[in-house]
Amino acid sequence: MTDVRSGQVRRPGGPGFALVLLVGSLLLVAPVAGPAGAAARTIRASSTTVWLCRPGQLLDPCAYSPDATSVAPDGETSPPPALSDPRAHAFDCFYVYPTSSNEPGDNADLRIQPVEREVAAVQASRFSQVCNVWAPMYRQATLGALNRGAAVDPAVVATAYDSLLAAWKDYLAHDNHGRPVVFIGHSQGAAMLIKLLQAQVDPSASLRRRMVSAIVLGGNVQVPVGRDAGGSFRSIPTCGSSSQTGCVIAYSTFGSPPPAAAFFARPGQGVSLQSGQTAKVGQEVACVNPVTFSSRAGPLRPYFLSVTSVVPHVTVGTPWVTYPDLYTAQCEQSGGASWLQVTATATAGDERPTVSATLGPLWGYHLQDVTLALGNLVADVASEEAAYR
């Protein structure tokens, strides 16, 4: 993720270490006013939820401009096609952001900080082309709570989840108005989303019908080997195509096979502990390729904010930059791990910058799980919505 600046991370030895998304202060990413339209009229002054992103509210980071520049291997630039006007849509996206809080204490409060705005702009704002993005603040486990080298206190996880659950129930009761929903979460946000889907959506036929899809990245969704459901979720399958609805897109990105102690890609390790998942005989971590929805490789459509410095960028005049045909992605399995293998395909003369495993081999490309496939994921949601209609 390209507006994420990685600081010094204490590498814990135990598998209970929950996963951390380190976010730096990026003053150039300014939130903008939200779009007008039907969804904007749903704002309630009496809402009990603190909304990071909410259609129509001022300073909404999920309404950040989608304008982008496409940079070809020879350096030629052009505007990529937009999917839709970022106005009110018939579909909602419910986004749960990853670990970002560096507040003191084990659980964050509900005050909106610059880091939450920044990560929402990077991960969720491009989805505003295809849905109304809602993102509640929740009392997530802080960097301090997750960086101690031991399993995170279950009470800390429970506090985080309970606050998210309250926001979901508030949204469903007062703001959803029957619209179909796409769920989006990454890292700790993915772990909380797994718990929410398990408790609220999977057992409910009516909510499953309203679920367009769920994008659950860097969260270790588990499935029985060779099956698409029956692990993390009893009735919600993994997606087999971009036109399938009511299903889950899940993966973790690596540039090489995950080490044995990797925080992702194996059941019961790392981030799995945040969602209460354990290693079970006959289960594996799901990998859904957002490009091909099969075992075949396909070209990724990454989108990076052009004002950030973690991944160097060609100078462009738009907020976003994309590098077509720079990466391919393919689901792979080895040593009990299942992951989305991302391979740079640059040839001689292609000077476009590539990503690296910023936090080390145990993390892979975790910081870029969303941005490496952001164009594909937004297009997938558009296809799912078309099929849902």
Q: Which domain holds residue 68?
A: 39-388
- Assess if residue 216 is contained within a domain: yes
pLDDT at 36: 39
Task: Bin 359: left if φ > 0, else alpha if -120 < ψ < 50, else beta.
Answer: alpha
Instruction: Report the C-alpha gap between 387 and 389 in whole angstroms.
Output: 5
Task: Give the model's pLDDT for residue 346.
Answer: 86
- Distance (Å) of CA 165 to CA 24, 135, 172, 262: 27, 12, 10, 29
Q: Does residue 194 lie within any of the structural domains?
A: yes
Tell me how far apart the alpha carbons of residues 113 and 146 are, in angstroms, rounded to a whole number. Answer: 19
Confirm whether 224 is domain-assigned.
yes
Which helix (H) or strand (E) segment holds residue 217: the answer is: strand 211-217
The pLDDT value given to residue 82 = 67
Question: What per-residue confidence (pLDDT) applies to 6?
Answer: 28
Q: Pairing between strand 298-299 and 327-334?
A: antiparallel
pLDDT at residue 75, rounded to an integer: 87
Note whether residue 18 is domain-resident: no
Q: Count structural domains, the chain.
A: 1
Please, what are the averages of pLDDT over each run of 10 residues along the chain (389 residues)?
A: 28 31 37 42 65 95 94 89 67 97 93 95 96 97 82 90 98 96 98 97 98 98 95 97 98 97 92 82 95 97 80 77 95 97 91 89 96 97 94
In a domain, residue 178? The reply is yes
Q: pLDDT digit string (tens) for 169-203?
A: 999 999 999 999 999 999 999 999 999 999 999 99
What pLDDT score does 316 carry?
85
Residue 46's region, left for phi above 0, alpha for psi from -120 to 50, else beta, is: alpha
Strand-pair category, 211-217 with 247-251: parallel
Q: What is the pLDDT of residue 149?
A: 60
pLDDT at site 347? 87
112 located within any domain: yes
Rounded alpha-carbon distances, angstroms, from residue 188 to 46, 134, 142, 171: 28, 17, 10, 20
pLDDT confidence of residue 270: 84
In this prediction, residue 274 carries a pLDDT of 87
Q: What is the pTM of this model?
A: 0.88
> Rounded CA gap, 213 and 203, in Å?
16
Residue 353: per-residue pLDDT: 87
- For residue 116, which phi and psi values (nearest 5 degrees)? -65, -40
Residue 311 lies in a domain: yes
The most distant pair of C-alpha atoms in the chain lies apart, rounded to whole Å, by 59
In a domain, 11, yes or no: no
